[in-house]
Amino acid sequence: MFPWLLTVIALWWAVRVVVTFCYLLKPVEMTGLGRLGNSSLMLPSEAVLASLLATVLCVLAHGRGVRFAAIILALSAMLSVVMAVWPTIALWQWAGQHHIPVSFGFMLLPHSNDFYSGSNKTVIYGTLSDGSKLAFDVWSDGKAQADELRPAIIKLHGGGWVQGSRGLLSDWNKWFNELGYEVFDVDYRMPPRGNWRDEVGDVKCALGSVVAHAAEYHVDPARVSLMGDSSGANLALLAAYTVRNPELPPSCPVAEVRVRSVIDIYGATDMASLYRTTGSQSYLPGQIAKYIGGPPSEFPDRYKLLSPVVHVSAISPPTITIHGKMDRIVPVEQSVALDNALTDAGVYHETYYLPWVDHNFDYVWNNLPSQIARAKIKEFLLKH
């Protein structure tokens, strides 16, 4: 290999590692180069592999006498190790302090919690005035006895209120089935199909439909919980906290339901604040404005109404929140605000802020934050 080519590779490699490190330390932007920081936090094994490759190139450069390239590659390898080890150790220590067993071997076998349409059946839970239909997928392990009523999870996908569909992050569905839960993975209208009230209205419609047909689904209507990630978590909280709110009714003729509990994974709780403070300014505010109709300055009442933190009361259901401190889309302060509101209202809740964890961490099913989230959710559901 030509010496000049080794130097070019070394410089390119160093720039990539330094940029990744910068976006890891400062969690801004989910698009463009910001994805490098997000990927490094979700998959520390990638940084390990990068370090090994840089080491191989360093040895090659040293053998060819290209001293400058060898030094650059050695420094890049060391920085890659820091990016892999530092967050992992911090998270491992946090897990130990909270008595959560984690598996490093499991972590080194990354598995994407991606889209999967492996449900038992799809059900139309609502037909709207224009004739359009709303659907959810029923996930069941098929082990329910004829007269057995089981707990249920109504799961809501994320996607910034403007994209996504049922079937996303479907390993959650299978995992809840393993815990003995029937799962209903819900689609809801998004722009341009629906307006700003329709998303939570559709969630309430799906919830009411499940409870209305509880016996058919082998579901105990007193043990139905809501779960969502990101914008889906926002809708789960909103549906749980605004029962019988005339400004946010179900989108179909069903009875409103008080759920047993809510599982909130890095959800938005204060929409106006999120619009202003998200680290991904080139990405998220446009999606929020598309969902709500415009910026907070134009529709302050809508932003307030769609903020779960505003609706917390003494009768709000038990809530568990899991949020990464390095979230570059939904700042962790969103969960801090909810935690404070629930504390003030005297509502049972658990809130966990995971160090060195970014948005969408549960896309990698085997990583440490996903292991921790499942452990804490399992404990929570045993109580609620």
Q: Residue 64 — left, alpha, or beta (φ > 0 → left; ψ -120 to 50 → alpha)?
A: alpha
Structure tokens at 156: 């809501």
Whole-number pLDDT of residue 110: 73
Q: Could you tell me which residues come within 8 angstroms of residue 53 by beta carbon, excluding any fewer than 6 positions away?
A: none
* Residue 21 lies inside a defined structural domain of this protein: yes
Q: Are strands 182-186 and 133-139 parallel, antiparallel or unpaired?
A: antiparallel
- For residues 148 and 214, give the distance between their C-alpha atoms in angstroms, rounded to a whole number: 11
Q: Are residues 139 and 89 in the same domain?
A: no
In terms of Cβ atoms closer than 10 Å to its own Cβ (0-12, 13-18, 19+), residue 297 is exposed
Q: Residue 218 — left, alpha, or beta (φ > 0 → left; ψ -120 to 50 → alpha)?
A: left
* Residue 115 lies inside a defined structural domain of this protein: no
DSSP state of 136: E
Question: Among 41, 65, 97, where does a domain finish?
Answer: 97
Average pLDDT for runs of 10 along the chain of length 384: 80 91 91 89 85 87 87 92 92 96 83 76 88 91 83 97 94 95 96 93 97 95 98 98 97 95 98 97 96 98 98 98 98 98 98 97 94 98 96
Q: Which of 170, 191, 194, 291 is nearest to 234 (CA)?
A: 291
- For residues 126 and 122, give the distance between their C-alpha atoms in angstroms, rounded to a whole number: 12
Q: Are residues 142 and 222 in the same domain?
A: yes
Whole-number pLDDT of residue 104: 83
Query: What CATH number has the domain bearing residue 295?
Result: 3.40.50.1820
pTM reported for the whole predicted model:
0.95
CB 322 within 8 A of CB 265: yes
Q: Are residues 84 and 170 in the same domain?
A: no
Q: Are residues 93 and 141 in the same domain?
A: no
Q: Are residues 131 and 212 in the same domain?
A: yes
Q: Residue 233 — left, alpha, or beta (φ > 0 → left; ψ -120 to 50 → alpha)?
A: alpha
Question: Among 49, 64, 97, where does a domain finish?
Answer: 97
Q: Which of 247, 234, 240, 252 is nearest to 156 (CA)?
A: 234
Cis peptide before 192 (omega within 30 of 0): yes
Whole-number pLDDT of residue 117: 64
Q: Which of 238, 359, 269, 377 is nearest to 320 (CA)?
A: 377
Whole-number pLDDT of residue 380: 98
- For residues 315 and 297, give the distance between their C-alpha atoms in angstroms, rounded to a whole number: 31
Whole-number pLDDT of residue 54: 87
Structure tokens at 101: 């067993």
Q: Could you tell me which residues come within 8 angstroms of residue 15 by beta carbon, excluding any fewer than 6 positions away?
A: none
Q: Are residues 57 and 132 in the same domain?
A: no
* Residue 75 lies inside a defined structural domain of this protein: yes
Describe the crossing of helices 67-97 and 3-25 by its angle, rounded to 10 degrees: 30
Q: Are residues 92 and 131 in the same domain?
A: no
Whole-number pLDDT of residue 44: 87
Q: State which residues form the domain around 159.
A: 121-383
Q: Which of 244, 141, 226 is nearest to 188 (CA)?
A: 226
